[in-house]
Structure 1
């Protein structure tokens, strides 16, 4: 019993840090989306400054980190709700990536990112 308790505390600390990092990355994604929108509104050629692959790479990183942190959370505390909310947000982000730029792509991306951040916050809170 005494050996597993420190190990459980260790993993709880790792899980909490991963969720906080993932929430920070979600915030950076939100800032990126808003900044790009403003730049595109002010300067119509600003979209060509960024490589479009940044969105695909960002989604792959979000799925990887989200999948790891949220799965660890379910294994740690047993609550599925954080993982379901986070997975739903990742799905919305992936769906938004398939939309043409300018339609509702930015709106759905922001909704997805917000849900992923909420899932990580719920996961972090359930760990305590």
Structure 2
């Protein structure tokens, strides 16, 4: 069962995603919430909007760096992290040929994608615990 939206503005942001991408973004959203539950050191995550994009923070523990979901300029779907962290470069070192990267800020997926590799959980967990290094 999908995680309910606590913030109507976030739900509205998901509703504005193009139809082919919305299903994929909902799957990424669930993966973020599931990974947060599996990562107790991250504490409770907050779903909010940053730059109009769904964003996931660790406001209680402040252990993490923000994860955002958005449509890249090239189309499709993307999961973004803060560009001044090593999150994407570290993930790219582990999986250089397995994902499409947007520089040092995100992982990009083709339009219509609805399922995602469980290895993304490593990126999400790393983001939710980034400041615990």
TM-score, length-scaled by structure 1: 0.28
Structure with more strand by fraction: 2
- Of structures 1 and 2, the larger Rg is shown by 1
Structure with more helix by fraction: 1
TM-score, length-scaled by structure 2: 0.27
